[in-house]
Structure 1
Amino acid sequence: MWWRSILKTHTVFNNLFVSAYAQCLTINSFNFVTRHPVSRSFSSNACECTIGDVIDQWSRRFESEGITEPVESIEHIVAHVIGTKKITDILNVRNDRLNESQINKLESLCECRLSRMPVQYIIGEWDFRDITVKLVPPIFIPRPETEILVDFVLKRLNSLQLDSCEILEIGCGSGAISLALAHACKKVHNVIKCTAIDASPYACDLTVINRDKLNLTNQITVVHAALKSDATVEVFKTLNGASDVDLNSKLFNFVVSNPPYVPTKDIPKLQPEIRIYEDLRALDGGDDGLKVIKPLLKYTAKVLKPGGHLFLEVDPTHPEYIQFFTNKYPDFKLHHEHTYKDFCNNDRFVEIVKTV
């Protein structure tokens, strides 16, 4: 199929982009990604403009070029350039002026945005719940909706009042889910241990960086491993010298995952920011979007402790199938507990319980 050639090409591009990205953010000219030269009149008068003027001018430029969320994009870039993490702080400095170095940096980053690079990659980090994670392409960018998934896991964890808890995250990406869970439980003195796995070595390395930055080394083990179609996990490497773990026999209280669930035919319909820069393997769920979810359900049936919980983020069409699956295969002892809504009132999160 024609869209499969897109995925193959994108995989090659991802491998090249990892190294190219580092070089991109250290230079002022982004010629390899941009076809939108900076307006010379804007550049020459930039020192005379206030921050408010800069935001207004670039937001109009973004909007004219079809950039999504034009105002938010430039506000995040400006906040990054002036060294603040809060967009609200910009309100207090709209009448200030940028120096020449800041102007050059801002214009370079704006050129990246014109080339549809996501803001999260441009500024190199993003807030997720109450933590900040480092982000680099093509590692999957955590979405706001996934914060809801974390909230449901924490709510269930607190209701069970476990003295200790073993959590497995399948497909950790930047590590946002495991990091947010461990960080939240550390504050309330719950003892949890997270094992975060991903098939991408780049994702595992990024998770380690974010874990260490948040001082969660003792709470999170990162493993380069892949869930296979036969519902087993193949381990390639356990990072940072942690002891080897048999992920096909170890039991967990919780399994959490935001797996690839976009049907392959829908991949070309995604925004350019996603198609060009993010790893489509973290999104592509096969013909029906269930390519990973089906073996994940079977694998979870083996590694969940009795009374344990599986939380999944899925496509709105998937909860019905998941409920069908749990009813069709009673030997797996998986019970569909609940389906939760996302911000747009779509069925997005599924909770499953391993029965005794």
Structure 2
Amino acid sequence: MNIAPFSPHQPAAASASAARVKPRAGVRAQRFVDLINQALDDDARLKADDPRLGLSQQELTTPQRERDRLAPLCDDAAGSLALAAHLGDRVTNTLVAAARGAGLGVSGYAMDEAGAQASPARQPVAERKDGPELAAVPASGMDSAPDLFSAMWGGDAAEVAAFMSGLKDAGCTPQETVDRLVVMDYEGESALHAAMSRGQASAVSAFMDGVRQLGLGREQFTQIAGALDPEGCSGLCRAMRRGNAAAVSAFMEGLRGLGLDAEQVADILAGHRQGGGPGLAMALESGHAGAVSAFMDSLDGLGLKRQQVAGIVLAKVSDGHHGLFFARRYGHTLALKAFIDGLNRLRQQNLITTQQFNSIVVLEPPRR
């Protein structure tokens, strides 16, 4: 079982990697531990991007302690787990999501419509008293469907496919279907945001394939694929910021199959954080060469016009700077090379002109 010895000074990533499997560990226990370790690793990567984000050092020790305490109780005979008191929303969210992913309940948390544990921290905005009003979505035909958020968060493509199949047969209206797929949790994550943030490429593929088969119109497809979190960041933006190249490729491939028009595709690809920039700019700023290559190589086949492609790869942010500027500024030579190589391929594919290529690579930062 991947349970690392507790140390108040041990970083999250080290805690997960130091874990070991005990011979008698059950499948549920292993799943529970793996999901918590994954959440801790995700938190460490989030802090690497921005030290202001993620769990505090005091908050970090709590899920580690609860993981070690609860894991031995995670077996087929376990009815539900009892969490310690006063954990805080973010820690509770991590623990309940891990329990749900392992097929376990948590005492004091009611079962949701799909038969999975409903955590207050993962409660849909539509059901929160302090959230915006949103019409309740009927669960007709969905009683035995797996929980989409847990499946996407944990990267379980089979469960994602099962959920999408159940949703297709649920008899929901198009808008009710959209609402089920884009509803945000307590922390402002939809299921797609969760999978893209964590690089769950197979789950993203299953999700996008399922969306394609729902029989929705282009406008509904656009709402789902381009949904923004409270910060104005799309799922694609999150994956680019984290450098999750495989998830980027999976999303772009799925986008290709939705039959959207060029303007809708361009709007989705340009989705960016408020006061910030599009995902490509974030990947270049952070030096994520793999994500840059995945994005650039996926632009072919999306039906975009040359001017749209040129605008997308320019990756202009709100202050007027462009993506290439950030790669140069921070010395991200691999990301810079990935970008230039991608531009060359776009030129060879006749998706941008030589003039557009030259104008992008010689751009200077805006004058102040």
Q: Normalized per residue, which structure has more helix?
A: 2
Considering Cα pairs closer than 8 Å and 6+ residues apart, tell me whether 1 or 2 has the greater RCO.
1
TM-score (norm: length of structure 2): 0.29
Q: TM-score, normalised by structure 1?
A: 0.30
Higher strand fraction (1 or 2): 1
